A = this chain, B = another copy of it.
Amino acid sequence: MSFEKINRRGLLGIGGAALLCTIGDKQYRVNANTDIARLSSKLSLPPKVKAARDNSALTKADVSGNRNEYWITAEPMRWNIVPKKRDQMTWSSLKNRGRTTINAYGYRAWTPGFGKPLTRSPTVPGPLLEATVGDSLVVNFRNLTPGPVTMHPHGAFYANEMDGSYKGWWTDPGGFVQEGRTFTYLWECPEGTQGTWFYHDHGPLTPLPMYKGLFGPLVIRDPDETPPDREYFLAFHNFSPVVFPQLRQLLWAVNGRAFTGNTTNMRAKVGDDVAIHVYGADDDLHTFHLHGHRWEENGVIIDNKTFGPADAFRIRFIEDNPGRWLYHCHVLPHLHDGMIGWYLVD
């Protein structure tokens, strides 16, 4: 499959933006309502994927350090981007924004052996994966969506066959996990991998599954560092009408929700050591701006940080300023179309 996201209006007279994918020589228009099972049946199976009968049991025997093991599914679900139906910051109803419950995908964590789900439904973003330098992350991944999807980590160390990427003819089984199959990823966390990262689908249907919600935070902690008192992980991303035709407009989101009161309410009290991890999970430029606060980066004091797609960073400060504060992207149309939230300090 090859993929195009284009606006051909001016060029070919085809209206609007579209996600197009090519399988063989045929082009298909795709969005969140596409029959993914039918489309996926036309994909050629890469040789190494075909050879591995069930995609599973590929874990290396020698898992080094602590074994941080997760059981994660990818699942289709209904997802409400604006559950409160109101934007608290502008004190107004969002009825005019149209229908905001979509056919999304989400990752979900389970008890060992896929016993019981740990949350009532999958979420956007997916569960936090955590490790400390020296650990190994063993991620048992089961695909419950109708087309092949994967998990691709940033930051961790992993052998080539564990990178969860579609690579055409050379694709490893972890880069093409079919519906109902399980693949176990081994991602190592040696010295030099510490930091804020994220994971996301990188399979043959990319980028559709990531646009539908298949991404989540990953942190590899430095054991010598004092843990913060409060910690938040914030994904900045969007839900586009190109992918979700029921949306009347593009909505900008933090952690799968849009507008104050719907996005994550961060909380702290004066004196807390606060860590905020931010990552970009769409294709756009964003900034993280926090009212009433500043932090240092390379000896320069800032209160607004620009970041791009797949960038991930952490800011940290000692809380010294009580009140109801806004955090938001400083691209104003992003702010006003949902990329904003509250930070409440007692």
Contact B337 A158, beta carbon cutoff 8 Å: no
Using CB atoms, name the residue of chain B closest to A197.
B303
Using CB atoms, name the residue of chain B closest to A298.
B298
Copies of this chain present in the complex amount to: 3
- CA separation between A23 and B211, bound complex, in Å? 31
Instruction: Using C-beta atoms within 8 Å of the partner chain, give the interface range for chain A.
Output: 35 or more
- CA separation between A285 and B330, bound complex, in Å? 12
Interface string of A291-326 (1 = CB under 8 A from B): 110100010111110111111110000000111111
**Is residue A12 within 8 Å, beta carbon to beta carbon, of the partner chain?**
yes
**Is residue A277 within 8 Å, beta carbon to beta carbon, of the partner chain?**
no
Interface residues of A in 11-26 (CB under 8 A from B): 11-12, 15-17, 22-25
Interface residues of A in 217-258 (CB under 8 A from B): 241, 248-250
**Is residue A283 within 8 Å, beta carbon to beta carbon, of the partner chain?**
yes
Contact B294 A192, beta carbon cutoff 8 Å: yes
- Residues of chain B lying within 8 A (CB to CB) of residue A170: 324
* Selected contact of A331 from candidates B95, B197, B309, B333, CB within 8 Å: B309
How distant is A303 from chain B, measured CB to nearest CB, in Å? 5
Given A3-B90, A91-B168: 11 more A-B contacts, CB < 8 Å: A2-B92, A4-B249, A6-B249, A88-B169, A91-B169, A155-B301, A193-B301, A194-B301, A206-B332, A287-B309, A308-B330
